[in-house]
Structure 1
Amino acid sequence: MDSEPHSLPTTPATPSGATAAEDRSTDRPAHTPRGARNGDLPSRPGALPPAPGRLSHALGSTWFPLALLAVFAVVSLQVALDTPLLELDDWTRRITRAVRRGLHSTLLNHLGAGLADLGGPLVAMPVLLGGAALAALRERRAGRRHWWYPLPVAVAAGLLVPLLVVPAKALFARTGPFGVPLAADQLGWYPSGHTATAALAYGTAALLLGPTLRRRLRHRLYGGTALLCLGVGAGLVWSDYHWLLDVVASWCLTGAVLWGLWRHVIPWARQRG
């Protein structure tokens, strides 16, 4: 047993010119009040900048779009083979109808139909072009040489909607929630065209405009756009315009496209200017 239980540990010798309480990693006193710390950046007082969040790291990983495409492939296979997984659509439709009948809310029904209409090209495409024009104007004011890049990116995103959705609709030829057989010249319900239009139009407009805004406004814009796209999908299911898996498939397909715009196309275009 120690004969001197209350003795303090011996302070190790410190090198010449150094402070005993000096922190090894940041060269600052270990017991300095938090508000007086300088961190690694002299112009930003306080603690060191936090490490990137797990969500942003996951979204930036290449596995994210691959996972979305994998889900799209799995769902498409179930639709093509008419497997028991499609019972999820029937279950969702029964629950939605029961809730709709129980609430019997005209306001909710109009809200669902209105949200679904926001996925129409007559509404979504002008928003896409208007957002691109505003982004180009802000890039020009910022002095970028290729300030006009949002406009061709927006046009390309708009053209992607029929290129992605129409062949799939013709291939799968899925009937809608009411089970009415398709006419000879009618496309199927899978995947949802309104969902894809809303995601690509509003998502691309937000991604083009976001880099020209301050960080807080940019995050609010992204969050609001995501909620809007979720609302369009919910409105389609609520109004019996689409099966749930029709909406999920379009989210996965367009999500992979938007990831490519966010990670590669838009940064490359901005760096050129």
Structure 2
Amino acid sequence: MGAENRSTDRPAHTPRGARNGDLPSRPGALPPAPGRLSRAWIPLALLAVLVLISWQVAVDGPLLELDELTRGGVHTLRRALGSTLLNHLGAGLSDFGDPALAMPVLLLTAAVAAWREHRTGRVRWWYPLPVAVLAGVLVPLLVVPGKAWFARPGPFGYPLAPEQLGWYPSGHTATSAIAYGTAALLVGPTLHRPVRRRLYGLTALLCLGVGAGLVWSDYHWLLDVLASWCLAGVLLWCLRRLLTRR
């Protein structure tokens, strides 16, 4: 009888794919794929940052000094450049976070994705439409209570009116990231890989531009934007996992 490996009871030098100990209940089980566990830290890290920022906003903590420093630096840079074009660009990018623009884009893209899925003969070709509607509904459900709870004044420091919502988290940032991010994840799988990668990259740049435009135009504090990016990142990570399992 030849030499055998004690952990798997197989002949030595057998290729890894021939191992018979791949079940968790048996010796010599293969470890889980490393990428799955490592990727799970992404939403956890985003949630941790979101909780930290929210706590600091709630208690008016020292982290809010970052907002003041950023605002002061942006004002100094704007005065030094004196560029009307950049000011218009910042305001224009901010408008991409308007629900009146972002939500129609999301629904239209979902319809295109459903049509392309239908052409390929998929049974559940209609799934992009309810996913888009759900994403659109989640934005106000998650953002509006936060604005009412924290009631944070904007960069100009004016007190909030009784019927006015706060600035934290940024609604325009969350709307753009969730709407355009969901749209890209829905239509992306129907495209060729090079086109899909460019679409994801351009979508990320647009969402970053919306947040930068809000800060540049003095519409929001930096932490308002960062918190909404974290919130949107968690939702999009979960959505990507669901679509991948499908």
How high is the TM-score relative to the length of structure 1?
0.76
| Secondary structure, aligned partner of 2:129 | helix
Distance 1:110 1:90, change over 3 A: same
Amino acid at match of 2:244: P
Aligned residue for 1:197?
Answer: 175
Describe the superposition over 1:184-224 as per-residue Cα deviations: whole angstroms up to 9, x where unpaired: 01000000000000001000000000110111111111111
Which whole-Å CA distance do the structure 2 matches of 1:168 and 1:252 have between them? Answer: 14
Describe the superposition over 1:205-263 as per-residue Cα deviations: whole angstroms up to 9, x where unpaired: 00000110111111111111000000000000000000000000000011000000001
What pairs with 1:66-105 in structure 2 (closer than 5 Å)?
66-105=44-83
- Which ranges of 4 or more aligned residues in structure 1 deviate by more than 4 Å? 57-60
Which whole-Å CA distance do the structure 1 matches of 2:36 and 2:159 have between them? Answer: 42
Q: Note if 1:63 corresponds to 2:41.
A: yes
Q: CA deviation at 1:59?
A: 9.9
Whether the aligned pair in 2 keeps the contact of 1:176 and 1:243 (CA below 8 Å) is yes
Q: CA deviation at 1:98?
A: 0.5
Greater helix share, 1 or 2? 2
Aligned residue for 1:259?
Answer: 237
Distance 1:59 1:113, change over 3 A: farther
Distance 1:74 1:209, change over 3 A: same
| Residue of 195, 199, 205 corresponding to 1:217 | 195
Amino acid at match of 1:137: W
Amino acid at match of 2:68: D
- Structure 2: segments with no counterpart, 5+ residues: 1-13, 16-33
RMSD between aligned alpha carbons? 1.6
Q: How many pairs are equivalent?
A: 215
Give the fraction of aligned pairs with identical amino acids, expressed as a percent.
69
Q: CA deviation at 1:62?
A: 1.1
- Structure 1: segments with no counterpart, 5+ residues: 1-23, 26-53
Distance 1:235 1:58, change over 3 A: farther
Distance 1:263 1:163, change over 3 A: same
Whether the aligned pair in 2 keeps the contact of 1:125 and 1:201 (CA below 8 Å) is yes
Which whole-Å CA distance do the structure 1 matches of 2:38 and 2:212 have between them? Answer: 26
Whether the aligned pair in 2 keeps the contact of 1:120 and 1:194 (CA below 8 Å) is yes
